[in-house]
Amino acid sequence: MPNPMLLGIGGSVLSAGIQSRAAKSASNAQVQSSQAAIDEQRRQFDLVQSLLKPYVQAGTGALSNQLALAGVSGADAQQKAISALQQGPEFAALTQQGEQGILQNAAATGGLRGGNVQGALAQFRPQVLSSLIEQQYSRLGGLATAGQNAATGVGTAGMQTGVNVGNLYGEQGAARAGSTLAGASAWGNALGNISQLFGSQAGGAFGNLTRPGSERF
């Protein structure tokens, strides 16, 4: 007949092993789930960063050109920016159309060779260039603002991703700690049960020895 004490010990050990493995399995599942969420968070951030990258780059370049046009980057950079406008197709088209209009108006009124026409022609190009500089500065400002907003969006997404990933790492740590504690508790209970079995067995044996008639001389 099986020894009841051995059966009790075996049952305690088996139960502890099952509980420990179950806790470890549950912990692994939670850790894997958290890691999948971390990977997805990072993938989404990379996607946001990729989508906004052209706007950030455009804004950065626009701000650099805006500073140059305003003279903040030095006289040489300002002169280069103004010369680029003056030699560009937009300035050429505006001046050509404007000068043709002045000449046509003068021809229609018979003042083609008058001093007023020459003065108007002399003033027209600088006026067009000044207006174009202001327009270009405004355009660059719009692009710089768009780039700033895009950079802010990337920064916000990065901060939120950091918070989410940090929380998920915390969940992984809690899952591993819970698994360790659950396993320790299961084996602790098993050892406690075994100790109780030994105590009961020892107590029964001592009781038999102290019963009347059990003494042997």
| Residue at 110 is within a domain | yes
- Tell me if 217 is assigned to some domain: no
Residue 214 lies in a domain: no
3-state secondary structure of 211: coil
**Is there a domain that residue 11 lies in?**
yes
Establish if 209 belongs to a structural domain. Answer: no
Residue 90 contacts residue 128 (beta carbons within 8 Å): no
Instruction: Encode pLDDT of 104-156 as tens digits.
Output: 877 776 655 656 777 788 888 899 999 999 999 999 999 999 999 988 888 88
Residue 211 lies in a domain: no
Number of domains within the chain: 1
For residues 19 and 184, give the distance between their C-alpha atoms in angstroms, rounded to a whole number: 10
pLDDT of res. 217: 39
In a domain, 161, yes or no: yes
Q: Label residue 163 exposed, middle or buried (CB < 10 Å: 0-12, 13-18, 19+).
A: exposed
| Average confidence (pLDDT) over 159-185 | 65
Amino acid letter, 98: G
User: Which structural domain, as residue segments, surrounds residue 62?
Assistant: 4-201
How far is it, in rounded angstroms, from Cα 97 to Cα 108? 16
What percent of the chain is modeled with pLDDT above 70? 59
10 belongs to a structural domain: yes
Percent of the chain with pLDDT over 90: 29
Averaged pLDDT for residues 15-38: 65
